[in-house]
Structures are given as C-alpha cells and as structure tokens.
A and B are shown apart, each in its own frame.
Chain A
C-alpha cells in the first residue's frame, strides 16, 4: 500500500488512468448531443432552411466537468483508497502469533479487545501473513492460517474467569518451543501474573513482540465478610488513579424467588488509593437470600463475588434437659456447645414448642430422653421438612427406655440399656480414643487429636442398618456418632454428653470442626484448606469470565483443600460448590489477592486498543460516481428539454419522497390506525424477528391460514399483521405466532411486561423453533437455546407434550398429528391439572379449563401454511400427495389452534352433553 497524505491506496497504479482525463475532455467536448426528434406540423415551412454554421452545439462545460468528476471518482475509487491507513513500521512477512490473556480482567472490555484483534487481523490479512491465536488461559497449539479464517472464529473467543496460571504459562511456553519463528502481538488484559515475564522472554526469542493493552483500569471485588453485624465489602483496582465511585449491588432473590437487586452500597476509591471499602447492614432474613455482590457497570467475573455460607448464620435452638441448677454453669449440659457455636451461629433459647414455629436450622437436644407427643410430632414434621436434629446422650438417656426395643423415630439407632463406661474407677481398661474417620463420613479428613478420650457412652444395639449410620466410632469400633436421614432432614446422635463428663470431646477443637462439618455452624468466611481435608465438593453453579452464572451440569467434584488453595482453572471453575448441606464459593478474588498492573519492559512497544479505525473510501467514492452520473443524466435531460416536459412529475415525486419528513405525528396516527385495524376484525399476528425471510414466511403463512379459516369456518380474519414487541399493543390479537431465529434481539423488560400481560389475559403464543428439534427439549439446537433464553422471563406454566385427549385435538377437526413443514409430534402445551380424570363413559378427560397460554413446537408451521400472492403454496412440503396431505393437516392444526383460542374450553364442555341430556331426561 502506498500512502499519500493520510490516504493510502491499495492499487495506486490505477491512478495513472487519471492522466487520460484531459483526453476524455476533448473527446466528450467534440461529440454533439444526440438529436431530439420532434413532431411538428410546421415542418413544411422549414423545408429548405439550412443551418447558418456547421459547428455543433457544444456540450456545456459544467456538464463536461460533472462527467469528468464522475470518471475521476471511479478511477480513484477503484484504486482502493483507505483513510487512516495504519502505519506499519515493522510489518514483517512471517507468521504472526496473537497472544490473548483472555482472563476475567479483560471481560468488561472484551468487545473492544476483539475489535482491536479484528483490526490487526485485517492488517495481517492485507500483508498476507498467516496468523495463529493463542489464549493463555486455555493454551492450545495454534494453527497458523489466513487472517480471514480467524476473523470468522473471533466471536468464539471468550474470557476465562481466571488468570493464566503457572501451569498454563508453562504449557504455553512448551507450545512456543516447538514453533518456528514468528512475530507476536500480545493483547494484555492489564494485570500482572506469575510467569508473564518469562513468557515475554520466550516470545522475544522468537521474534518481535508488540503489546496491546487497554487503558481502562481493572476493578475487582473481594469476597464479602460478615463482621460485627455488617457485611464488609472491599473493592480493589489495579492502578491508583483519581477519585472514583463504584456502586456495589447486592444480588439476591426476593421472597417469590426472582432474582433482583436487594441493596446497593457505594464505595469510593480515594485519589491514589487502590482499595475502597464499604459495608452493608442487612437483616438476617435478607442476608440469607443473598447470592452475590457485583460492581455495577462492570461485566467480569472479578467484579462479582459469590456469597456462600460465610454470610449465613444458622439459627440453632439449644434445649437442655430439665433441672439445670443455677450457678453450676460449667456443668450445664449446653455450656460447651454454646461456646462452640456462639461465634458463628445465632442461638435461640426456649422450650421446644416455642422454638419450632421459628423454624430454626438446627435443634440441639442435650440429654433429653423423652418428648411429649405434642412435641415429638411437630418435631418430626420439622425434620422431614429439612431440619437437623442433633442429640447428645447423657445419664437420662442411658437410664431411659428410649429406643430400646424399637427404634425411636427421633433416634438414629436403637440403644442398649445402661450404656457402658470404660477406664473409670469401677471398670477395667483405659478410656477409649477415637478411631480415624472413615471415608464417607462427613468428618473424613479431620485430624483426630490424641487427647480426646471417651470414658462413658451409650451403646448402639447392633442392627443391619447400624454400619451405614455410624459416622464416627471409637478405636474399638463402638459407634460414637450415628446419623440417619429422615425425609429431607437428618438426626445425629452423639453417644456421649455435651459436657466434659463422659468424654473430653467437647473440650477439643475437633468438636468445633465437627460442628462445622455438620453445617451446624458455618466457619470463618474462608475456611482453612486443611480443615476441608477429605471432603469432596461438587460444583453447583459455575461462573464464566463475564460473571454470568450457569448450571454446572456434570462437572466432576473437587477435593476440599484444592478448592481453597489451588488456582482456578478449567479443572476448578469459579462458582458455588456444595458438599452435603454446606455451600462454598470459589471467587476470582480472595481476601488477599492484590491487583497488580502489568508492567512491560521499555523495549516492548505498548499500544492502546483504540486505534483510529481504517476506513476504506472506495465504496463512498464509487457511490459518489454513481450519484454524479445520475446527476449527469438529469442534467442531460434538462438540457435537451426532456426533463421538464415529460418527467417533471416523476422528478417532483422523487424529491418529495426524498424530503418527506418522518414526523412523530405520523407515527402517532400510525399507531392509532394500527390499533383500529387490528381491533376491528380478528387478526392473526406474528412477532417480527428482524430476519426478513422469516418474517415474510410468517406473514405468508398467516395469510394462508387466514384464507383457510375464511373458506372453511365462520372465523373471517383480516389480513395478518406483524407486531413489533417493543412498540405495538398486543391486546388486540388472539394469537401470536413467534418464529424463533437464533439472532433475534431479546425483548426489553417493558416488552416482557406486555407479553406477560398478554399471556395472563388469555392470549396465546405459538412458539416455533422451526427445526423439528424440540424432541430433545431445547438445548441441542441454536433455535432451541434461543427459545429458552427468550421464554425465560415469561410467565409460563408447567408444560407437557400435547396429550392425545387435549381439547386442541378436536376443536374443529379431529386430529392426532400436528405437522407443519416437519412432522415431529412433540408439541408442548400447558400441563393438565394433576387431578384430571376420565369421566365415566367419556373417551377423554376434561382438561384445561381455559386456553393454554403457549404452544411450543418446532414444526415450522408457517412454512406449511404460507401462500403466494396468487394463493398457491409458497414452499414445497414433503413429496407428492403425501406432502399435500401433510400441508392439509398443517392447515387443520392451524384451524384447530385458532378455534381453541377463540372458543376456549367450549369443545371441552361438549363432553358433558350426554350427561346433560341424560339429566334433562329425568
């Protein structure tokens, strides 16, 4: 490319053609304008008159100039001018490797980064360099191929919710080692990480390195900490800068379970500071519903921190045996457990009947033997609904007959009478120590201190189920802690007292850890790695680089210590992990993580992302040439007097069209006439998707269906209409046909409000994924996924595949198939009420008292319905007669559907006719 004064030309030699312009001028000047033929009766008088001079009427100079300009514009346009051609100082010829950090830090500006990558790809493509792309967060061996091939794949690059880990850097370095020399363009996210300088050296050894880095600052939020009744939030930024405010949003669920912002707080970075703190004081009820905190306006995983049990304080009700004497606090059966739980749980005191209505998470019964039936029954219900009952043994239990012969519903095991004592004054042997915890026990991995001894306990009766229920045992194998699941809850029995009377367990740190493991108390906001030894955590929700949460699917579990200490990576995605009842969040930032900006050596050229975009001018110039040529045509016509005589009307029309103002008033009246039109007759409507072809087929399809309705039924619809969800009122339409395209825009919140109103007030939406692929319910096709996205905010009841006795099968025609262009049978409608039953003597159940608000299928009905202007079918369906039959059935389905919408459960009511007649007869 050669550059003249800021404009570059891709084919500069073409400019030589400009030299031919003067010659063209002379030629054009000499050619007389074409003669005009005129009818003129007076020609008889002209006969014999000769022209005075033989020279011709010359083309006016300005017309010539116009033509010259047009030709010049064509020549320059074809020469390929480019405005702001990017100076390419050391554009090499060899392969080019684009290295992307692709971490969460770049997620907020990912679009800009991709645009920059694309601009560089364009450059490289012009230089005909092969390009490879390497993302450091997920290094793969790059294939060097043409820039155009990469450009189409750019959209597939997404930032990862972690920084390149040392292992990944090592892998990247390994990959580089095998590659021949290349130049490097490094798109940095602006954050430093371990191994970056080593990688830079490796790259510099291979060729020139150029770094592109956005100038915007990286902001992150550290995990929230609950302290002194408030939630402390710490925000960090990479580089100190001017004072800046950031709004932190507390995301959670409202009582109805919908996601919303529960509270906001503003944190202010002081000028020059890299850390800002704020705190939120939320009531416990609200705190329990928090899911995450994020920084408004940022879209990265680092700007969101997920909330786990650290913020949740469980409510624990402590109930001791009767007769706790005053003054003997250390002997109180609840003293040690209170001490163990107080820092991390809310304790409730009271009698069982008082406590149960408060629905605590855990109830601790310390040496309580028998419960009155009035207490036991609600307690059982509470456990079945998910409560956790923890019981401690003691002299009373040992002395009672509870769970002696039959297993008590509130006890995990049967107990032997009297219990046993070892190592006491009246017995043989040493006090027993604890055996290491078995794999499968919630305590697995906890270290067993030597000083924990048990001198007395209640003993479980051997049972077939006993082995499953033991979660901790003594060194001689006697169960120490047993557990059984009841409904959604569980009952745990410690076979020793909650005091130091029978064992030293309550005195040890193990006791606190056991309580944590049982999720009775949640530990510190970040548990120590070794306290999670032996636990396995399954990911429940994972967070991508943008901070969006998604279901984890079938990701494998993670060992507890790794969850805390290992760096995040493909094997350890950020997100929420669960183990039994506990929830732990793996966030991008921890309390300690500091954001350090990446610093590059002085010899590495560093560029911003915002280069002035190259602007090819060829299109504009060629358009200009066309405009000039059109002007030339008009001017020539005007010169020869043809313009004003013949086409003045046309010209005026053109001008009027060009200048016609699109006033707001016109729109208003448009909206009004739209409403009048739609409301005055039954009108079928389809949602405009923005894809012209799909919209056109939907319109033609509804036209075909309207015609069919008109000919066959008493429904006489007007011409169908397309509706814009954002602007048009939906209430006028009985049915909305919504074809799904993968690229249609997501409706706004207001539009969803309208749609939900529409569905609640009796409207019906026919979703059509048009891919016959609803069988696998969604996710396998892009249309299905889009449908899920589109329909997520809609108020849609539970669905089921269209049952054979649904009223839709007999509103007009008797149908058992619902084909469109495809004939998949999977059509989903609102599920029948669970109590729907077949009435005696009736062939079908009385279902759906009302109209199903949605019908979901993928049979591309509009294509089967679609007609041309002349009434013939627009698209071929199937083959031969079978295809025509399928089209006919598609029409019948459409007729049934419209009848269903318009008549509701009327046909369903018909099933009562025999019964009514019968009754009348009596």
Chain B
C-alpha cells in the first residue's frame, strides 16, 4: 500500500495518539486496585527493611549500616526482606475477529482486551513483577518503561482472521494470561495450554465476547461475514440458526473450561458490555490466588 507522505503522517499520528490514551485508561483502571503485600517473610534481596543484625565476619564493610551502628559500639548490618518477582506473560489476541463491536456504544473486543491486558500489566509492574508477552518479542521485564513497550506491542494488529495463542518462550513456573474470544480453531489453544502446563506455567484463560455473539439477535435473510472478510455464511432465516449457534458456543465454552481444569488454569468469561473494572478485579484476584486453587 502506498502512502502519500501526508496520509502516512496522519496515520502515524493517529496511531501514536492511541498509546497515551490506552496508557492513561489502563493507568486509571489500575489505580483503582491496591496491590497487596508480596513479601517472602524472610531476609533476602528486596527493597523493604527486614531487621538489623550484628555484623559478622564476612560482611563487607559496605553493608554496615552506619546510622544504626553509630548509636553504640557494635556494628549492625541492615537486612532487607527477601522479595522475589514473579514473571507474568500476556497473550492478547490481536486477530481480526477481535475488532468487532455489535453496537456503537460498545468498545470492540480488541480494545477491551488491550485495555484489560495493559491495566493488569501496570498493576503487576507496580507490584514489582516482571511482565512481558508470550513469544520472543517482549520478554518479561520490570519497571515503568516496560509499560510503554507493552502498550506499543499491544497496539499491533494481526491480520489473521483468528490468531492462535503464542506459546513459545514460556518461562518455567511463570504465570500467563491469555485474553481472546477463542472463536477460531481450539487445537492451538489446547497445544499452548498443555505446553504451558508441562513447564509448570499456570494462568488465566480469559474469554472475551461481544453481547451479540452471546445473543445472536439476527433475523431474516442474512449473509454473515467474518471481520476479515475471508469467511462467509448465507442463510435465509437467521433466526432459525440461533439455537444451533448457541449450542455450539456453549460447547466451546465447556471445552475451554475442561481444558483449564485439566491444566490447572483458571477460566474467566467477560462481555464487552460489562464494566472493565470488574473484569480487572477478577483477573487480578485470579492471578493473585495461591497456587493450586482453581476456579
């Protein structure tokens, strides 16, 4: 596609404008959740004070806390609480099927998924975790710059109709979050999940649906087209298809849940007409839950 310099610039600016908006919204959303304590309850590397202990042989001079030691003759070393950071890996579906909203008032699914993913990332990063994307594009890191990188990566769109989950580069024993509408083939999902389970990765499968996809409010002679335009299905009486469609959808949800149960993941369902806040809370809670607890 050839761009004239003007339109290229305009498109670029439009794209750039989305980042801060997404960031701001994500920050706003994340600000509503207070991260809980995440300490290991023993001395180790960390930021928080744990205890003063008398200096021992072997402690380098540099470790002596002079403020405390100056009160007496003994020298003290300041120990910090041992904090470990968890690696969390995100996969947000960028496929064409996500760019759909049944109503002008509703956000499209990709938008909601991106928002939730980034807000969760912000929360986690504030909590000191390392957050990255599955795959090799953006491995988990900590710190605020990672938010910007994540935002940038999340804004890239995939041209494929239904994007399969990215399961490469899973860090063992990390946490993972998959956000998608799972409308495409379920086999890659299954592969991804089993592979993750093999490496001890647990996480959340977040199923994001538009209300119209749940209700199927269509009647009359209709040609249904996928968002990318590759798939189409024509029917003379759309209302007749409703029940069978809903059956298929329920079967799919069921399958996903079973998959989660087998692999120790948690399954969550969200509709774009529900509030993003509650979704974020649920996600955060699901992620924060002790290992082993299931949905």
A residues near B (Cβ < 8 Å) are 32-47, 49, 51-57, 639-641
Contacting chain A: which of B13-21, B25-33, B54-62, B221-229? B221-229
Q: Does B237 contact A (CB under 8 A)?
A: yes
| Cβ 8 A contact of B248, one of A33, A45, A52, A55 | A45
Interface residue ranges of B236-268 to A (CB < 8 Å): 236-237, 240-241, 244-245, 248-249, 252
How close is A14's CB to chain B, nearest CB, in angstroms?
A: 36
Note all chain B residues with C-beta closer than 8 A to A42. 183, 213, 216, 224, 245, 249
Contact indicator B252/A45 (Cβ below 8 Å):
yes
Note all chain A residues with C-beta closer than 8 A to B227. 39, 41
| Cβ 8 A contact of A40, one of B162, B220, B224, B252 | B224
Contact indicator A51/B231 (Cβ below 8 Å):
no
Note all chain A residues with C-beta closer than 8 A to B109. 41
Contact indicator A51/B237 (Cβ below 8 Å):
yes
Q: Contacts A57-B221, A640-B220 given: A39-B252 contact, CB under 8 Å? A: no
Q: Does B129 contact A (CB under 8 A)?
A: no
20 contacts between A and B (CB under 8 A): A32-B236, A34-B221, A35-B234, A37-B223, A38-B222, A40-B213, A40-B226, A41-B97, A41-B183, A41-B213, A41-B226, A42-B213, A43-B231, A45-B248, A45-B252, A46-B233, A46-B245, A51-B237, A51-B240, A57-B220
Note all chain A residues with C-beta closer than 8 A to B222. 35-38
Contact indicator A51/B213 (Cβ below 8 Å):
no
How close is A663's CB to chain B, nearest CB, in angstroms?
A: 34
Contact indicator B221/A36 (Cβ below 8 Å):
yes
Q: Contacts A51-B236, A56-B236 given: A33-B221 contact, CB under 8 Å? A: yes
A49-B223 Cα distance, complex, nearest whole Å: 13
A52-B232 Cα distance, complex, nearest whole Å: 18
How close is A309's CB to chain B, nearest CB, in angstroms?
A: 90
Q: Does B235 contact A (CB under 8 A)?
A: yes
| Cβ 8 A contact of A33, one of B181, B220, B226, B241 | B220
Interface residue ranges of B180-228 to A (CB < 8 Å): 181, 183-184, 210, 212-213, 216, 218-227
Q: Does B100 contact A (CB under 8 A)?
A: yes
Note all chain B residues with C-beta closer than 8 A to A53. 237
How close is A63's CB to chain B, nearest CB, in angstroms?
A: 13
Q: Name which residue of chain A comes closest to B214, CB basis.
A: A42
Contact indicator B223/A41 (Cβ below 8 Å):
no
A439-B213 Cα distance, complex, nearest whole Å: 117
Contact indicator A37/B219 (Cβ below 8 Å):
no
Interface string of B88-110 (1 = CB under 8 A from A): 00000000011010000000010
Contact indicator A44/B236 (Cβ below 8 Å):
no
A639-B220 Cα distance, complex, nearest whole Å: 9
| Cβ 8 A contact of A41, one of B181, B219, B232, B244 | B181
A627-B234 Cα distance, complex, nearest whole Å: 34
A34-B122 Cα distance, complex, nearest whole Å: 49
Q: Could you list 12 further interchain pairs (A-B, Cβ under 8 angstroms) beyond the known A40-B224, A43-B224, A43-B225?
A: A38-B218, A39-B100, A40-B100, A40-B213, A40-B218, A41-B213, A43-B226, A44-B162, A45-B248, A46-B224, A639-B220, A641-B219
Contact indicator B233/A41 (Cβ below 8 Å):
no
Q: State the main secondary structure of chain B at its contact with A.
A: mixed
Contact indicator B220/A52 (Cβ below 8 Å):
no
Q: State the main secondary structure of chain A at its contact with B.
A: loop
- Indicate the member of A32, A34, A36 with the most B CB atoms within 10 Å: A36
How close is A19's CB to chain B, nearest CB, in angstroms?
A: 31
A867-B232 Cα distance, complex, nearest whole Å: 56
How close is A53's CB to chain B, nearest CB, in angstroms?
A: 8
Note all chain A residues with C-beta closer than 8 A to B221. 32-36, 56-57
Contact indicator A35/B249 (Cβ below 8 Å):
no
7 A-B pairs with least C-beta separation: A41-B97, A35-B221, A43-B224, A40-B224, A45-B248, A46-B233, A42-B213
Note all chain B residues with C-beta closer than 8 A to A44. 97, 162, 183-184, 226, 231
Contact indicator B225/A40 (Cβ below 8 Å):
yes
Contact indicator B225/A38 (Cβ below 8 Å):
yes
How close is A635's CB to chain B, nearest CB, in angstroms?
A: 14
Q: Name which residue of chain A comes closest to B251, CB basis.
A: A45
How close is A55's CB to chain B, nearest CB, in angstroms?
A: 8
Note all chain A residues with C-beta closer than 8 A to B226. 39-41, 43-44
A49-B235 Cα distance, complex, nearest whole Å: 9
Q: Name which residue of chain B comes closest to A47, CB basis.
A: B233
Interface residue ranges of B88-146 to A (CB < 8 Å): 97-98, 100, 109
Note all chain A residues with C-beta closer than 8 A to B213. 40-42
Q: Contacts A38-B218, A38-B223 given: A52-B237 contact, CB under 8 Å? A: yes
Note all chain A residues with C-beta closer than 8 A to B249. 42, 45
Contact indicator B236/A45 (Cβ below 8 Å):
no
- Indicate the member of B184, B213, B235, B236 with the most A CB atoms within 10 Å: B236
A36-B223 Cα distance, complex, nearest whole Å: 6
A377-B97 Cα distance, complex, nearest whole Å: 118
A911-B224 Cα distance, complex, nearest whole Å: 87
Note all chain B residues with C-beta closer than 8 A to A47. 231, 233
A45-B246 Cα distance, complex, nearest whole Å: 9
Note all chain B residues with C-beta closer than 8 A to A49. 233, 235, 241, 244-245
Note all chain A residues with C-beta closer than 8 A to B210. 41
A57-B226 Cα distance, complex, nearest whole Å: 24
How close is A562's CB to chain B, nearest CB, in angstroms?
A: 91
A41-B224 Cα distance, complex, nearest whole Å: 9
Contact indicator B225/A39 (Cβ below 8 Å):
yes
How close is A637's CB to chain B, nearest CB, in angstroms?
A: 12
How close is A695's CB to chain B, nearest CB, in angstroms?
A: 43
A57-B224 Cα distance, complex, nearest whole Å: 17
How close is B224's CB to chain A, nearest CB, in angstroms?
A: 4
A39-B233 Cα distance, complex, nearest whole Å: 10
How close is A52's CB to chain B, nearest CB, in angstroms?
A: 5
Note all chain B residues with C-beta closer than 8 A to A640. 220
Note all chain B residues with C-beta closer than 8 A to A52. 237, 240
How close is A39's CB to chain B, nearest CB, in angstroms?
A: 5
How close is A638's CB to chain B, nearest CB, in angstroms?
A: 12
How close is B61's CB to chain A, nearest CB, in angstroms?
A: 64
Note all chain B residues with C-beta closer than 8 A to A641. 219-220
Note all chain B residues with C-beta closer than 8 A to A40. 100, 212-213, 218, 224-226
How close is B79's CB to chain A, nearest CB, in angstroms?
A: 54
Q: Name which residue of chain A comes closest to B232, CB basis.
A: A43
Contact indicator B183/A45 (Cβ below 8 Å):
yes
Note all chain A residues with C-beta closer than 8 A to B234. 35
Note all chain B residues with C-beta closer than 8 A to A41. 97-98, 100, 109, 181, 183, 210, 213, 226-227
Note all chain B residues with C-beta closer than 8 A to A33. 220-221
Contact indicator A37/B225 (Cβ below 8 Å):
yes
A33-B224 Cα distance, complex, nearest whole Å: 16
Note all chain A residues with C-beta closer than 8 A to B240. 51-52
Q: Name which residue of chain B comes closest to A640, CB basis.
A: B220
A41-B181 Cα distance, complex, nearest whole Å: 9
Q: Name which residue of chain A comes closest to B184, CB basis.
A: A44
A839-B288 Cα distance, complex, nearest whole Å: 106
A53-B236 Cα distance, complex, nearest whole Å: 9
A46-B183 Cα distance, complex, nearest whole Å: 11
Note all chain A residues with C-beta closer than 8 A to B100. 39-41
Contact indicator A54/B236 (Cβ below 8 Å):
yes
How close is A400's CB to chain B, nearest CB, in angstroms?
A: 116
A639-B109 Cα distance, complex, nearest whole Å: 28
Q: Name which residue of chain B comes closest to A52, CB basis.
A: B240
How close is A395's CB to chain B, nearest CB, in angstroms?
A: 121
Q: Name which residue of chain B comes closest to A35, CB basis.
A: B221
How close is A647's CB to chain B, nearest CB, in angstroms?
A: 13
Note all chain A residues with C-beta closer than 8 A to B225. 37-40, 43
A33-B233 Cα distance, complex, nearest whole Å: 17
Q: Name which residue of chain B comes closest to A44, CB basis.
A: B183
Note all chain B residues with C-beta closer than 8 A to A37. 222-223, 225
Interface residue ranges of B37-75 to A (CB < 8 Å): none
Q: Name which residue of chain B comes closest to A55, CB basis.
A: B236
Q: Name which residue of chain A comes closest to B247, CB basis.
A: A45
A52-B236 Cα distance, complex, nearest whole Å: 9
A39-B228 Cα distance, complex, nearest whole Å: 9
